[in-house]
Structure 1
């Protein structure tokens, strides 16, 4: 991949949808559209011949569907990054399994497409820096990413980007800078799955990224309060006060 040019292959069996994607890509700088495939088998063949950096991949296609195409592409080295572009939202779990970097719902919004392309660029840069363009050979033992719904589809959120997690009834809210997303999860399972070197549970309803904590103070009742990087505060639960001493090395 060139420093600024992203080689893109479109795979979509709907001519109008493929044409719309082409028009949207033409308005975005740094894109080299190398081809358009109209079915799954053609997508695999063209990806092998054209070595794109990114495949914009529909899911419901004749022959091989998008999930099967993504699995096939994952066996190549270096494998292209995949962004699913679909009219259906029920394939999110399968998309997660094949490590798609984003999941866009039709009709595609230009700003949402631009965000997804930037996510792909970042993913490619990190992958190249870590191993010359190949996927890591060993999966992490910890939860590394989330899929969350937004108004344009589903977004992939790296766990390391999450500042803090707060409980809201049967849901957990992921806070990433000024934005947040709800996911259906439990606080206990998140605590078990997240890397304890990166995250710490401070309250029955709050997990915080360790480097997002700027300090601790005591409130008038003597209870610990975590001072966070965004100038907010998080009360430390009585059952979790030992975490303060552990973080401070006391």
Structure 2
């Protein structure tokens, strides 16, 4: 089972504490943080990039259902499991693409089963995963981009990092910056041997990684021949640390 970073969203301290205890007893789950309302939860999702959000429905301010709709509209939404005392919201909850709906008090067995279920791929998902991985299809050496100079071909080997900015992806390379009309997810899948994800909105080229630097409570990747310092998400930090050590040997 894949290691999951989890965010708990609930305005009740006892409910948050109970879920935290349940998670501690489960393998492959790490509690990244907690939030008491939707606004705080959105900020936490940006900062922590969780794989899974356990969320209540009735909270002060925006409801858990509204929060789930906002999260599900993201390019790479986290999985969501509702943990609530109200059974009447099940249908609208699953309409937000929720992976589970558990009634309080949530037991460890219920939570474990829901998490295991969300990590199992259906047959169509496995087929898509195989196609998306690009097996048997060599990646391009150049990427087509449109700039004020017209259409240009950008050499993949010159790109230091790829940063998602709103609706676009910006490639930072030896010649400056170029906007690409391709999603970060598609670029990550096609060029998995060249780039590594360090944050929800950033990929960096393995060949240009020079190290890590601490920036307050977070870390950033140092890149050769580039002033860009992409932030590393807390969830991905152990993996990036190991990669930096391997590249330095």
Question: What is the TM-score with the length of structure 2 in the denominator?
Answer: 0.49
Question: What is the TM-score with the length of structure 1 in the denominator?
Answer: 0.49
Pair member with larger Rg? 1
